[in-house]
């Protein structure tokens, strides 16, 4: 335990990402027979293309590739990890958890390993949970992954949802450090809104009961997302004693460019301070934030010492934010 002697921060020492296959454009979706258009998708969402996993390319398989890239950047042997958290709503199996599958695939033994299910807020939830483990002093080297293969739960007859999502995985390695690190985090949920975004099916007695596809009341999700994202950012900054315009980078969940723009406008942040991947990734659910983080770290936009605010919002209804110094 830390015993309160010196502050312990969870510091990002590596990031990694993985997008399967090749970009699938809006025109490709039209060519596949979906009753939509590039114009509609770009205008309403900002999405131009997304990636889809191949058969057998599960959330666990994608998580391993992203994790290995993050571990390589951190120059950390996976055997030394003592905490592995995977955020996913599309786990490989009912059980064991995707985190345990990943642990086995990485050759780690004995680390605490579990999944977090908070849909598109999953990575932010997992990041905050890992921070709390590390602040308590019990864990020192954590791997946090967001991985989702939503193409498996999309109804291709439902043009209101199937054009929005893509597959992928993103990962961070967190190591205990005396310098920040994570500065603050806020996690929220409202179960009374569970019906607006769900996959309302279940596996029971050898059968799928209910509806195994993603269902969404788009406008209700849109309204809720815009309402909560700016306020949770404010709350998270306040907890760290800074103003929201003092952050260097905002990494919002990548669902819709209009939601991202409305959030940054409310926060008084210029577009140049916002990391955007939704145009090329679509909505990759739990993978969206760590994929965007990895891209901006690798292309040199996010630099050591800068303040980054990561935000998630999604089914549950869930939302949250983590503020950290990179």
What lies within 8 Å, CB to CB, of 224 at 6+ separation is 193, 196, 313, 317
Q: What is the contact mask toward ligand UT7 in residues 119 to 158, using x (rule: CB under 6 A)?
A: -x--------------------------------------
Give the DSSP H or E segment for 49. strand 49-50
Instruction: Give catalytic residue positions.
Output: 120, 253, 283
Nearest distance, CB of residue 120 and ligand UT7, angstroms = 4
DSSP letter, residue 305:
T
Helix (H), strand (E), coil (C) string for 54-91 = CCCCCHHHHHHHHHHHHHHHHCCCHHHCCEEEEECCCC
* Number of amino acids touching ligand UT7 (CB under 6 A): 22
Q: Bridge-partner residues for 149, per DSSP?
A: 167
Yes or no: say if 294 and 17 are a contact pair by the CB < 8 Å rule.
Answer: yes
219 in contact with ligand UT7 (CB under 6 A)? yes
Yes or no: say if 185 and 123 are a contact pair by the CB < 8 Å rule.
Answer: no
DSSP letters for 254-277: -S-HHHHHHHHHHHT--GGGB---
218 in contact with ligand UT7 (CB under 6 A)? yes
Yes or no: say if 125 and 110 are a contact pair by the CB < 8 Å rule.
Answer: no
Q: Which is nearer to ligand UT7, 170 or 180 (CB)?
A: 170
Nearest distance, CB of residue 89 and ligand UT7, angstroms = 10
Which single residue brings its beta carbon nearest to ligand UT7?
Answer: 218
* Cα distance between residue 310 and residue 83, in whole Å: 21
* Cα distance between residue 197 and residue 223, in whole Å: 13
The torsion angles phi and psi of 293, rounded to 5 degrees, stand at -60, -50
Given 45, 58, 244, 318, the residue binding ligand UT7 (CB under 6 A) = 45
Q: Bridge-partner residues for 321, per DSSP?
A: 186, 311
160 in contact with ligand UT7 (CB under 6 A)? yes
What is the Cβ-side half-sphere exposure of residue 180, based on CA atoms within 13 angstroms? 12
Given 163, 232, 293, 323, the residue binding ligand UT7 (CB under 6 A) = 163
Cα Rg of the chain (Å, integer): 19
Q: Bridge-partner residues for 215, per DSSP?
A: 198
Given 159, 227, 298, 301, the residue binding ligand UT7 (CB under 6 A) = 159
36 in contact with ligand UT7 (CB under 6 A)? yes
Given 67, 100, 102, 225, the residue binding ligand UT7 (CB under 6 A) = 225
Q: Which is nearer to ligand UT7, 65 or 196 (CB)?
A: 196
Q: Which is nearer to ligand UT7, 184 or 256 (CB)?
A: 256
3 in contact with ligand UT7 (CB under 6 A)? no
Q: Which stretch binds ligand UT7 (CB under 6 A): 32-40, 49-57, 130-138, 240-248?
A: 32-40
Nearest distance, CB of residue 222 and ligand UT7, angstroms = 4
Task: Give the tokens for residue 222.
Answer: 């849109």
Given 87, 228, 247, 255, the residue binding ligand UT7 (CB under 6 A) = 255
Binding to ligand UT7 in span 273-302, by CB under 6 A: 283
Binding to ligand UT7 in span 63-122, by CB under 6 A: 120
Given 86, 99, 111, 221, the residue binding ligand UT7 (CB under 6 A) = 221
Yes or no: say if 100 and 108 are a contact pair by the CB < 8 Å rule.
Answer: no
* Interface residues toward ligand UT7, by CB under 6 A: 36-37, 40-41, 44-45, 120, 159-160, 163, 216, 218-219, 221-222, 225, 253, 255-256, 259, 283, 314
């Amino acid at each position: 335990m830390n015993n309160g002697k010196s502050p312990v921060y969870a510091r990002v020492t590596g990031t990694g990402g993985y997008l399967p296959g090749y970009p699938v454009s809006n025109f490709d979706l039209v060519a596949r027979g979906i009753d939509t258009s590039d114009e509609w998708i770009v205008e309403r969402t900002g999405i131009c293309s997304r990636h889809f996993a191949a058969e057998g390319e599960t959330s666990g398989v994608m998580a391993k590739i992203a994790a290995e890239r993050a571990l390589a950047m951190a120059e950390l042997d996976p055997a030394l990890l003592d905490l592995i958290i995977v955020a996913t709503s599309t786990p490989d199996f009912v059980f064991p958890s995707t985190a345990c599958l990943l642990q086995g695939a990485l050759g780690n033994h004995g680390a605490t390993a579990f999944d977090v299910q908070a849909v598109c807020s999953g990575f932010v939830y997992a990041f905050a949970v890992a921070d709390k483990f590390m602040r308590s002093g019990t864990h020192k080297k954590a791997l946090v992954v967001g991985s989702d293969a939503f193409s498996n739960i999309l109804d291709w007859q439902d043009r209101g949802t199937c054009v929005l999502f893509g597959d992928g995985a993103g990962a961070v390695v967190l190591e205990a450090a005396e310098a920040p690190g994570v500065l603050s985090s806020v996690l929220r949920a409202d179960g009374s809104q569970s019906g607006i975004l769900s996959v309302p099916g279940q596996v029971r007695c050898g059968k799928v009961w209910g509806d195994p596809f993603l269902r969404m009341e788009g406008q209700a999700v849109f309204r809720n997302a815009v309402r909560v994202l700016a306020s949770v950012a404010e709350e998270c900054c306040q907890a760290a004693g800074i103003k929201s315009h003092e952050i260097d980078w905002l990494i919002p969940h990548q669902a819709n460019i209009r939601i991202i723009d409305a959030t940054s406008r409310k926060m008084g942040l210029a577009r140049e301070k916002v990391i955007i991947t939704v145009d090329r990734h679509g909505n990759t659910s739990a993978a969206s934030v760590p994929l965007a983080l990895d891209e901006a770290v690798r292309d040199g936009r996010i630099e050591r010492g800068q303040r980054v605010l990561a935000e998630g919002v999604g089914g549950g209804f869930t939302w949250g934010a983590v503020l950290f110094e990179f």
